[in-house]
């Protein structure tokens, strides 16, 4: 950084003829760019799992100006039923948030997995659906999405897994399993909703999370721990067996059910369903028109 400021000083001491002014503008631009890149690299260094060489320079430089291309709007409509039900105004807002997520995160393929723009949009839209009712919708504690072609070995879990969300700010997916979740949006299995459900839990410890989520998550905990709702869900077979593994998996599986099979969830466990709707400030069973988040 010292070098950049020195360059800036030298230019100002020169006679400001036309060439010098242009040169000054170029140097200032480069200095600001390098400063921003330096800040971004510092953030990346927080995790050892990332390959720093893959940082996309131009992507970071212009990310704040990116807009969803027309093909992105079509892609969202082709892939998400809930998006098709939105009003045009809601669709525009949802697309804007989705593209913001795309350029806010560092997407990396692993084990030879290529990462296309469409893949980023699919993942981003899945994340944004969870936070659609919230003010802090970008999962600010998470800076990277890693994508493997299939199941992968997790050093953290010491097991082969389909997905992982870790406190270092990284969400990891098996692409095969992510796609499987998106391919049927009514079967209670959605790896994307599941992992971003865990990510929401992590966000709850940060200042950048809506109070409505933090407060109601505490109520949720009390219900499932001391009021036996976890056991009730198990007995009614509302969720798949994996939900009963622990409190965190219960929440992540409940998020999958909330979006993919809300009728059964509400019918079996109305108190928990209503609490989740309050927590996320949205209700998949309500008319889409009622959820106009344009005030945010
Ligand atoms: Zn899980």
CB 116 within 8 A of CB 277: no
Asked if 102 and 240 sit in the same domain, the reply is yes
Asked if 10 and 146 sit in the same domain, the reply is no
Ligand 1 center to residue 122 CA distance, Å?
19
Ligand 1 center to residue 200 CA distance, Å?
12
Q: Indicate whether 22 belongs to any domain.
A: yes
Q: Indicate whether 51 belongs to any domain.
A: no
Neighbours of 83 (CB within 10 A): 20
pLDDT of 66: 83
CATH number, domain with residue 83: 3.40.390.10
Residue-wise pLDDT for 54-91, tens only, equals: 333 334 444 556 899 999 999 999 999 999 999 999 99
Asked if 164 and 23 sit in the same domain, the reply is no
Residue-wise pLDDT for 181-234, tens only, equals: 998 888 889 999 999 999 999 998 887 899 999 999 999 988 888 767 777 877
Q: Which domain holds residue 257?
A: 65-290
Ligand 1 center to residue 198 CA distance, Å?
7
Mean pLDDT for the chain overall: 80
Residue-wise pLDDT for 147-172, tens only, equals: 999 999 999 889 999 999 999 999 99
Q: Indicate whether 29 belongs to any domain.
A: yes
Asked if 38 and 75 sit in the same domain, the reply is no
Asked if 99 and 157 sit in the same domain, the reply is yes
Asked if 24 and 93 sit in the same domain, the reply is no
The total of structural domains in the chain comes to 2
Asked if 156 and 26 sit in the same domain, the reply is no
Residue-wise pLDDT for 100-123, tens only, equals: 999 999 999 999 999 999 999 999
Q: Indicate whether 172 belongs to any domain.
A: yes
Residue-wise pLDDT for 248-270, tens only, equals: 999 999 999 999 999 999 999 99
Residue-wise pLDDT for 11-21, tens only, equals: 223 334 556 65
- Note the pTM of the prediction, 2 decimals: 0.76
pLDDT confidence bin for 26, thresholds 50/70/90: low
- Choice between 24 and 75, residue whose per-residue pLDDT is larger: 75
Asked if 36 and 69 sit in the same domain, the reply is no
Ligand 1 center to residue 125 CA distance, Å?
19
Ligand 1 center to residue 239 CA distance, Å?
13
Question: Which strands form 170-174's sheet, in the order they lie side by side?
Answer: 106-109, 144-148, 170-174, 163-166
pLDDT confidence bin for 29, thresholds 50/70/90: low
Q: Provide the pairing of β-strand 144-148 with 170-174.
A: parallel
Ligand 1 center to residue 249 CA distance, Å?
5
Asked if 21 and 129 sit in the same domain, the reply is no
Asked if 104 and 25 sit in the same domain, the reply is no
Ligand 1 center to residue 39 CA distance, Å?
31
Q: Indicate whether 60 belongs to any domain.
A: no
Asked if 217 and 281 sit in the same domain, the reply is yes
Q: Indicate whether 56 belongs to any domain.
A: no
With 90 as the cut, is the pLDDT of residue 31 above it? no
Phi, psi of 161 (to 5 degrees): -130, 170
As a whole number of angstroms, the distance between CA 229 and CA 40 comes to 43
CA distances for 183 relative to 78, 79, 178, 262, angstroms: 11, 8, 9, 18
Torsion, Cα of 182, 186, 189, 190 (10° steps): 40
Q: Indicate whether 25 belongs to any domain.
A: yes
Ligand 1 center to residue 88 CA distance, Å?
34
Ligand 1 center to residue 281 CA distance, Å?
22
Q: Indicate whether 223 belongs to any domain.
A: yes
Asked if 174 and 230 sit in the same domain, the reply is yes
């Amino acid at each position: 950084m010292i070098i950049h400021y020195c360059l800036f000083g030298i230019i100002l001491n020169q006679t400001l003829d036309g060439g010098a002014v242009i040169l000054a503008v170029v140097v200032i631009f480069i200095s600001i760019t390098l400063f921003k890149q330096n800040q971004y690299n510092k953030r990346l260094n927080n995790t050892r799992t990332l390959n720093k060489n893959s940082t996309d320079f131009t992507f970071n430089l212009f990310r704040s100006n990116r807009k969803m291309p027309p093909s992105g709007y079509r892609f969202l409509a082709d892939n998400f039923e809930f998006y098709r039900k939105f009003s045009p105004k809601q669709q525009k807002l949802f697309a804007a948030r989705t593209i913001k997520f795309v350029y806010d995160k560092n997407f990396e393929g692993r084990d030879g997995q290529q990462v296309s723009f469409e893949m980023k949009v699919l993942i981003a839209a899945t994340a944004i659906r969870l936070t659609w009712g919230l003010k802090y919708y970008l999962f600010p504690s998470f800076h990277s999405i890693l994508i493997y072609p299939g199941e992968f070995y997790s050093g953290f879990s010491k097991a082969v897994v389909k997905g992982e969300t870790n406190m270092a700010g990284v969400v990891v997916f098996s692409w095969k399993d992510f796609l499987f979740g998106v391919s049927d949006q009514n079967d209670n299995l959605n790896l994307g909703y599941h992992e971003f459900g865990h990510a929401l839990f992590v966000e709850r410890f940060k200042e950048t999370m809506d109070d409505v989520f933090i407060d109601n998550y505490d109520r949720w905990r009390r219900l499932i721990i001391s009021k036996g709702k976890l056991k009730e869900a198990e007995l009614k077979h509302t969720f798949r067996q994996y939900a009963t593994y622990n409190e965190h998996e219960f929440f992540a599986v409940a998020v999958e059910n909330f979006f993919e099979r809300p009728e059964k969830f509400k019918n079996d466990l109305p108190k928990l369903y209503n609490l989740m709707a309050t927590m996320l400030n949205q209700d998949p069973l309500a008319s889409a028109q009622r959820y106009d988040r344009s005030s945010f």
